[in-house]
Amino acid sequence: MNSDRLDALGLLARFALLHPVAATAAGIHAHDGAWGEVGAAADAAVLAWVDGESARLTAIPVGDLSRDDAADRDLALATLAAIRFERVEVRPTAWDPLNTVSTVGGGLFPLIARTFGSSEQRANDLAARLTSLPQFLDASIDALVGVPSMSVSTDDGAPRVAGGTRGSTAPSGTLQLPARPVSRLHTETAIAQAAGIAELAEMGVEVYGPSLRAAADVARAAADRFTERLRTEVLPRSEGEGSYGAHLYDRALRHTLFGSHDRAAVRAAAEVEFTAVRERIISIAREIAPQWIGDEAATLAEKPHELVARVLHAIGGEHSAAADLLDRCREETARCEAFVRRTGLIDLPKEPLQITWTPRFLRAYGGAFLDSPGPLDKGETSFFYVTPPPDDATPEQVESMLREDNDRMLALLAIHEAIPGHYLQLAAANETKRPLRAAFGSGVFAEGWAVYVTQVMLDEGFGDGDKALELVHWKFYLRCITNALLDVGIHAEGRDEAWAMHLMVGETWQEESEAKAKYLRARLTATQLPTYFIGSVGCWELEDRARAAVSGAPAQRAGLPGNRAATEGFSRPAHLRAMLQHGTPPIPLLERLIRAAE
């Protein structure tokens, strides 16, 4: 079967026409000078396209498809269903002005920072987007009218897992989703972050020269007008925080997780792991407490939570100055690369990596993260972003942040974001010959891989047995579990700030600065935070099944991540390479592809 039957390139071309900014991010550059339309007519055009593509793909007989084509069709159908769901039910353009700021950043930054195509073409496309920014921003403001109450079918086209502990099939029928006003939290955050638009316009002038000055000035004025309209027109009629509520959250989660877990399954798995990881953390802290807190170790022997807090506080004291965070991240990334090269654990990427400060328009989400090139671009730079302390942070707040991002945490972040985490995995994924799998990659596998390989690195000897590093690692993993509980609690269960801060600071030993930033992020996004934990669970299940396949024993979850006993015939490097051969598909599809290749 020839994959042309799927018309993958045609589908992506039609996607790009309707989603030009997303297309730029994917590496499709035919519409890099456009923003796309906003409003009811644009929604209708996208829904008509979704229905047409879905009907065309569904009509292809299953028997006519190869293993890879069948996986790509399932991925495409799920992606189309998710696009329909977002346009019909989530409707971010109607209630979330921060979505506009992110879209503008995503439309401008790649044209400034990346090197695809020619410099002349990128400059022309950037000028076109800067010049047309006033119309786009005004249309975006006009679209912020809130979402009315609506009746929706329980069959939203999302993948589902029937029965068992992993998920459930909802009964057929309809649901009434409540009205959702423009979110005040998202509006306030958009006002604070909109200054990043002018910053990007100036970056364009720095990169391409004075020929961009007129277009940049138009964009700066448009950003000022956008901010003023948000402040005077949108903010007074905004309210609340944009929380999804249980029904909408459950439906969104099915799309995000490709049907592998429902909300109950996420919570159940997280709660079990939460307890087990806390016990592991307490055990390690007791072992190393005399080294780190001296005589206090005996005093706190019967107060395990306080003991862990004191040990972590002492470890956190070994941190870089704020101005030195980039250099430290570069050093740790080089150490990871050297370890992987020495052990032969996995093939290293050839694409360039730049470690730099987070652009201002992305700082609302805090932390460190990777911005990879479009999956259809080749040889482009990946950016490992490190977010500095806010300009208005007090010395106490800066110290709290630096204690959280201490020297050992930066070593773990270098694994997670760079090698062999996101940078390595996404660079490998960009080598796929399957364009649908490239453009419609799964964040669950991407985030899960980064969490999974952090434990793998420690299992393989990274850190030379440093127990303090191991303790910080388990705290980091506990944070991933907590992310899932936060997301469920805030968006589906009505949990408040006191509950969230107690969960993070009172139970998982996070610094207050980290906890406050994560509480903001959890309210600004929905269903993304569980992807770290659920993705990691999925990656470990893949390894356990691979071990079972060569041993002949039944596959089963072997307790906490890591520390697997040696399995005769199982090669971890070979298994990691097998995981990376298929792009970035959802884990259920990845499992299908790996099994079919065995």
Looking at every residue in the chain, the average pLDDT score rounds to 93
Q: DSSP code of 195?
A: H
Q: 368-371 and 382-386: which strand pairing? A: antiparallel
The tokens of 7 are what?
């018309």
Write down the pLDDT at residue 8: 94
| pLDDT: which is higher, 172 or 96 | 96
pTM listed for this prediction = 0.93
455 contacts 477 by C-beta, under 8 angstroms: yes
Q: Nearest to residue 364, comparing CAs of 194, 514, 513, 521? A: 521
485 contacts 492 by C-beta, under 8 angstroms: no
Q: Are residues 225 and 275 in the same domain?
A: no
Q: Are residues 140 and 151 in the same domain?
A: no
DSSP string of 248-275, one letter each residue: HHHHHHHHHTTTS--HHHHHHHHHHHHH
Burial class (CB in 10 A: 0-12, 13-18, 19+), 287: middle
The predicted-structure confidence for 493-536, as pLDDT tens digits, reads as follows 999 999 999 999 999 999 888 899 899 999 999 999 999 999 99
Q: Are residues 163 and 42 in the same domain?
A: no
- Distance (Å, rounded) from C-alpha 208 to C-alpha 219? 15
346: Cα within 13 Å, side-chain hemisphere: 26
- Distance (Å, rounded) from C-alpha 543 to C-alpha 551? 12
158 contacts 79 by C-beta, under 8 angstroms: no
Q: Nearest to residue 27, comparing CAs of 542, 374, 516, 405? A: 374
What pLDDT band is residue 322 in, cutting at 50, 70 and 90? very high
Q: What's the CA angle centered on 448, arms 443 and 451, to 5 degrees?
A: 135
What pLDDT band is residue 190 in, cutting at 50, 70 and 90? very high
Q: Nearest to residue 449, comparing CAs of 586, 276, 595, 334? A: 586
What pLDDT band is residue 362 in, cutting at 50, 70 and 90? confident
105-128 average pLDDT score: 95
What pLDDT band is residue 359 in, cutting at 50, 70 and 90? confident
The predicted-structure confidence for 528-560, as pLDDT tens digits, reads as follows 999 999 999 999 999 999 999 998 877 666 678
| pLDDT: which is higher, 208 or 432 | 208
Contacts for 394 with CB less than 8 Å, ≥ 6 apart: none
Please determine, for residue 2, whether its predicted confidence score (pLDDT) is greater than 50.
no
177 sits in which H/E element: strand 174-177
Burial class (CB in 10 A: 0-12, 13-18, 19+), 396: exposed
- Distance (Å, rounded) from C-alpha 388 to C-alpha 427? 26
The predicted-structure confidence for 215-265, as pLDDT tens digits, reads as follows 999 999 999 999 999 999 999 999 999 999 999 999 999 999 999 999 999
CB burial readout 303-321, b (16+ within 10 A) else e:
ebeebbbbbbebbbeebbe
Last residue of a domain, one of 197, 221, 241: 241
Taking the CA atoms of 54, 60, 61 and 65 in sequence, report the sign of the dihedral they define: negative
Q: DSSP code of 356?
A: E
Write down the pLDDT at residue 163: 36
197 contacts 228 by C-beta, under 8 angstroms: no
Q: Are residues 165 and 206 in the same domain?
A: no
Last residue of a domain, one of 197, 219, 241: 241
Q: Give bridge partners of residue 382 from the DSSP assignment.
A: 353
Q: Are residues 89 and 170 in the same domain?
A: no
Q: What type of residue is 285? A: A
142: Cα within 13 Å, side-chain hemisphere: 10
Q: Are residues 232 and 381 in the same domain?
A: no
| pLDDT: which is higher, 91 or 5 | 91
Number of other residues whose CB lies within 10 A of the CB of residue 281: 25
Write down the pLDDT at residue 365: 60
Among 160-169, 330-339, 517-526, whose mean pLDDT is lowest?
160-169
The tokens of 4 are what?
């042309």
406 contacts 318 by C-beta, under 8 angstroms: yes
Q: What's the CA angle centered on 472, arms 409 and 363, to 5 degrees?
A: 35
Q: Are residues 595 and 502 in the same domain?
A: yes
Last residue of a domain, one of 225, 241, 257: 241
Please determine, for residue 585, whether its predicted confidence score (pLDDT) is greater than 70.
yes
593 sits in which H/E element: helix 587-597
Q: Are residues 172 and 88 in the same domain?
A: no
Write down the pLDDT at residue 158: 83
Helix (H, G, I), strand (E, B) or coil at 192: helix
Q: What type of residue is 132? A: S
359-372 average pLDDT score: 78
Write down the pLDDT at residue 165: 44
447-458 average pLDDT score: 97
Q: Are residues 187 and 170 in the same domain?
A: no
CB burial readout 432-470, b (16+ within 10 A) else e:
bebbbbbbbbbbbbbbbbbbbbbbbbbeeebbeeeebbb
* % of the chain beyond a pLDDT of 90: 83
Please determine, for residue 164, whether its predicted confidence score (pLDDT) is greater than 50.
no
Q: What is the biggest distance separating any 2 CA atoms in the chain, rounded to whole angstroms?
A: 72
The tokens of 10 are what?
């045609």
- Distance (Å, rounded) from C-alpha 546 to C-alpha 575? 8
Helix (H, G, I), strand (E, B) or coil at 301: coil
Tally of domains within the chain: 2
Q: Are residues 168 and 259 in the same domain?
A: yes
- Distance (Å, rounded) from C-alpha 301 to C-alpha 17? 63
Q: Are residues 264 and 388 in the same domain?
A: yes
Alpha helices (H) in 171-262, listed in sequence order: 184-193, 195-208, 213-229, 246-256
**Residue 29: domain span:** 3-146+179-241
Within 387-429, strands assigned E span none
- Distance (Å, rounded) from C-alpha 469 to C-alpha 412? 8
Write down the pLDDT at residue 234: 98
Q: Are residues 96 and 166 in the same domain?
A: no
What pLDDT band is residue 50 in, cutting at 50, 70 and 90? very high
Write down the pLDDT at residue 545: 92
Burial class (CB in 10 A: 0-12, 13-18, 19+), 583: buried
Helix (H, G, I), strand (E, B) or coil at 384: strand
Write down the pLDDT at residue 64: 87
What pLDDT band is residue 172 in, cutting at 50, 70 and 90? low
The tokens of 267 are what?
């919570």
- Distance (Å, rounded) from C-alpha 534 to C-alpha 259? 11
Helix (H, G, I), strand (E, B) or coil at 352: coil
Please determine, for residue 167, whether its predicted confidence score (pLDDT) is greater than 80.
no
| pLDDT: which is higher, 586 or 513 | 586
